[in-house]
Amino acid sequence: MPQGLAVPDGLPARVRIHEVGPRDGLQNEKAIVPVEVKAEFVRRLAGAGLRTIEATSFVHPKWVPQLADAEQLMPLLRDPRVQQDLADVELPVLVPNERGLDRALEHGVGRVAVFGSATESFARANLNRTVEESLAMFAPVVARAREAGVRVRGYLSMCFGDPWEGPVPAAQVVRVGKALLDAGCEELSLGDTIGVATAGQVAVLLREFADAGVGTDRLAVHFHDTYGQALANTLEALRRGVTVVDASAGGLGGCPYARSATGNLATEDLVWMLDGLGVETGVSLDALAGVSAWMAGQLGRPSPSRVVRALRGSSDRDGRDGRDGAADA
C-alpha cells in the first residue's frame, strides 16, 4: 500500500473520483462484454467505494456497439438486489442529443453527460458538426435535462492537443467550455483526449478559466496516460484547486498492447497517489484492484494499470528489486 506521511501544502483534503470504466473504458475495448457482466462490474466498483460511476452511453448503437445494451443495462442496475448496493451511488450516462436524452429519461437517470469538442477538427470527426452546431445541439438537451431535474456534466475533448490541429489555444478551450457551462452544465470535464498534455499546460488552462470567471469548483480533469503524464498532470490540477478527477478502473480503454490505445488513467494509479498524499477518496485500493483483476479476466487480457499489475502479480516481490549485487566485487 502507498505510504502517506503528510498532505503537501495546497492540496485538497478530499477528491471525488468520476469513474468512467463502464462507459469510456468499455466503449474503447474491442471485446463486447455481456450486459450481466457490466451490471456486476458497476456493482463491484460501488463495493470498492466509488460513488460516481458513469454507467453507459445512450449513443446510437451503430456508432458504439460496445454500449448497444444501454437499454438492457439500466434495468439490471435497478434490480432490487443490485440497487441496494448502489443506494448512494451516482450513475450518470452519456447522451449525445435529445433522442439520447429521451432514452435516458425513460430509464429514470438522475444525471447525464454531453460531450463537446474544443476543436473544429474533432467536432467534425466525432460529432459531424462544427463546434457552434454542436453547442446548438446540446443547448436543448441540457435545458430539458434540467427541467426534468437531471444534472448535466459537460465533457470537453481535445483541451490540450488535437491530432489534426496540434496544440489547442487555451482561450479557445475556455470559450467552448464556458458556453457549455453557460448552457447549464453544472460541471465541465477537461479532456486530454490524446494524452499529450503536460503539467505546464494544465496550469495555463486552469489559470485562463479562472481569469474567465470559472473556478475549479466547476471543473474536472480527464487525463490519458498515453505518454505517461496523467498523474503528473493530475497533481498539477489538484494543486490548482481541482477536486474532481476522471479515471477508469484498471485503465480500461487504454490497453498498452493495442495500437490505438487511448490510455485512460487507471483509477488504481490515481488512488495510489491520493492515498499516499493523504487525500481522501473513499475508495479501497485493494478492493478496487480486485475488481479490475476480475474484469481483466472477463476481457481475457491483463490490466494495463501499473498498480493492478504490481499488486496482483508480485507475490514474489521479495526485496530483490533494485538489488545491485552484494559488496564482494
Nearer to a copy of itself by C-beta: 126 or 216? 126
**Measured distance CA(152)–CA(181) in Å, rounded:** 10
- Per CB under 8 A, the segment of 143-151, 180-188, 242-250, 304-312 that binds a copy of itself is 304-312
CA–CA separation, 225 and 118 (whole Å):
20
Contact string 212-241 vs a copy of itself (x = CB under 8 A): ------------xxxxxx-xx-xxx-----
The Cα–Cα gap between 83 and 87 comes to 6
35 binds a copy of itself (CB under 8 A): no
Of residues 41 and 272, the one with the C-beta less far from a copy of itself: 272
Minimum distance from residue 234 beta carbon to a copy of itself (Å) = 7
Binding to a copy of itself in span 186-215, by CB under 8 A: 191, 193-201, 203-204
Is there binding between residue 143 and a copy of itself (CB under 8 A)?
Answer: no
Instruction: With contacts defined by CB under 8 A, name the span among 77-85, 142-150, 181-189, 272-280 that binds a copy of itself.
Output: 272-280
Told to check if 8 binds a copy of itself by CB under 8 A, we report yes
Min CB(263)–a copy of itself separation in Å? 7
Verify binding: residue 167, a copy of itself, rule CB under 8 A: yes
What is the C-alpha separation between 1 and 126, in angstroms, rounded? Answer: 40
Q: Do 27 and 67 meet the contact criterion of CB atoms below 8 Å apart?
A: yes
- Is the alpha carbon torsion for 250, 251, 254, 258 positive or negative? negative
Selected range binding a copy of itself among 34-42, 82-90, 155-163, 181-189, rule: CB under 8 A: 155-163
Residue 6 within binding range of a copy of itself, rule CB under 8 A: yes
CB of 58 to a copy of itself, least distance (A): 6
Residue 54 binds a copy of itself, judged by CB under 8 A: no
Residue 177 binds a copy of itself (CB under 8 A): no
Which residues between 103 and 142 bind a copy of itself (CB under 8 A)? 103, 115, 121-122, 125-129, 134, 137
Of 67-86, which residues contact a copy of itself (CB under 8 A)? none
- Scanning 145-153, 181-189, 275-283, 292-300 for contacts with a copy of itself by CB under 8 A, the matching segment is 275-283
b/e per residue, 219-237, with b = 16+ CB within 10 A?
bbbbbbbbeebbbebbbbb
List 80, 81, 213, 259, residue binding a copy of itself (CB under 8 A): 259
Taking a C-beta distance cutoff of 8 angstroms, is the pair 45, 249 a contact? yes
Interface with a copy of itself, residue 88, by CB under 8 A: no
Phi, psi of 284 (to 5 degrees): -90, 115
282 is an interface residue for a copy of itself by CB under 8 A: no
Residue 177 makes CB contacts below 8 A (sequence gap 6+) with 118, 154, 156, 159, 188, 190, 209, 214
How much of the chain is helix, strand and coil, in % rounded to 5? 45, 15, 40
Closest to 83 in 3D by CA, of 34, 148, 39: 39
290 binds a copy of itself (CB under 8 A): no
According to DSSP, the residues that pair with 310 across neighbouring strands are none
Q: Which residues are catalytic?
A: 255
Backbone angles phi, psi at 189, to 5 degrees: -100, 115
Strand pairing partners for 191?
222
